[in-house]
Amino acid sequence: MARKKKRIGILTGGGDCPGLNAAIRAVVRTAEVEFDMDVVGFRDGFEGLVQNKYFEITLSQASGLLARGGTILGTSNRSDPFNYPVLQGDNEEYVYLDRSSQAVRNFESLGLDCLIAIGGDGTMSASARLIEKGIPIIGIPKTIDNDLVGTDVTFGFDSALVTATDAIDKIHTTAQSHHRAMIVEVMGRYTGWLALSSGLAGGGDIILLPEFPYDIEAICEQVRVRNARGKTFSIVVVGEGARQQGGELVFRSKIKQSSESTRLGGISHQVAAQIEGLTNIECRVTILGHLLRGGIPSAYDRILATRFGVEAVHMAEQGSFGSMVTLQGSKLGTIPISEVAGKMRPLTVENSLIKTAVSLGICLGVPVGEDLNKYYENPIPEDTASAASLAAANSSE
């Protein structure tokens, strides 16, 4: 009896990042070349699954994707099936409804054997709930924030790090020329992986992280000390989720049509104003924002995304559903998606990058030489399942 040809679905959820197309290419090539599987791509993340928007991805369509940024599938960070935005009423206001059963029906009608979901914490949170409703899912971790639990690295992070470091390198020259304090704000949400790594790579003098609410006096003292030593400029790298001790997070906007109603950003302007007010040293702010998501993937991310994609298809062939591919050290592994959902991975005092920064005399926003344990705060909000856990209690089909 002939073996039934397997069909697997794939989608990219959440914010885009370099490496998504490389992962799609790896899935399609491995599925067709090694296992003679068909691959169905859902457009715009879970929106495609809910609205049944899909297309067959062939080898020819996957050709040339390795070095391309973005995602040929499209993506969305506001299409959680359990909290799906729908325009209703004469005023066309958004309400959030549970459309998960519709997603399950569409999956089943296509005769798919599994779904490969590429995304961050929101994608994994929604995936965990869809698994409970019967969809066999395999996760691939991507995010420039590098904050998923269970994996040492997510693809997209290295490419964003390269972009941030290049920007900091360029800002150094104008900072030196004008004798200013230059504040560079990077993404990262509630964790400081990108801020710390780019600050180290770019020679930042002060690095402000969500994990260590900053003391403005400690920052200004570092600037004064540098000036006294003849260093008439300072580079301050700020994670968007940083905040002052005893202060609140700074948000740049509110988004009506998203289940995540607020967007972090703008803390760098607050830091600049405080430094200028206390030191009379001129400050300038650069917010890198979505530049960090764009462009071609780095060589590292191309390889990592490819490894993840190949491994995900191997898992599909073996029937190993309900898990996310991980990188632990140099080896690939897996973790149940249920253990990833609703969680994030912050920096800790014992992290080697933190220790490196301290040894170099970099100010982390607290008095240099002080015990960091006294200042550390876990920055992760109690509810971090950014989409799935926000489903309305009274939502309906």
**pLDDT tens-place string over residues 333-385:** 999 999 999 999 999 999 999 999 999 999 999 998 899 999 999 998 875 54
In the chain, CATH 3.40.50.450 sits at 7-155+297-343
More confident residue, 148 or 382: 148
Q: Are 216 and 278 spatial neighbours (Cβ–Cβ below 8 Å)?
A: yes
Give the bridge partners for 328, in sequence order: 331
d(CA 372, CA 359): 13
161-293+346-374, superfamily in CATH? Answer: Phosphofructokinase domain (3.40.50.460)
CATH (residue range 7-155+297-343): 3.40.50.450
- Please give the order of strands across the beta sheet that includes 234-239: 206-208, 234-239, 181-186, 283-287
Residue 38 known to be catalytic = no
Backbone dihedral region of 92: left (phi > 0), alpha (psi from -120 to 50 degrees) or beta?
left
- 115 to each of 51, 138, 262, 308, 384, how far by Cα in Å? 16, 6, 30, 14, 23
List pLDDT tens digits, range 37-90: 999 999 999 999 999 999 999 999 999 999 999 999 999 988 999 999 998 877
Choosing from 16, 145, 205, 301, the catalytic residue is 145
Q: For CATH 3.40.50.460, list the domain ranges present in the chain.
A: 161-293+346-374
Q: Residue 136: what pLDDT?
A: 98
Model confidence, pTM: 0.93
**Helix/strand/coil for 279:** helix
DSSP state of 363: B
Query: 359 is written with which tokens?
Result: 């040894």
In this predicted structure, the answer to whether residue 21 has a pLDDT above a threshold of 70 is yes
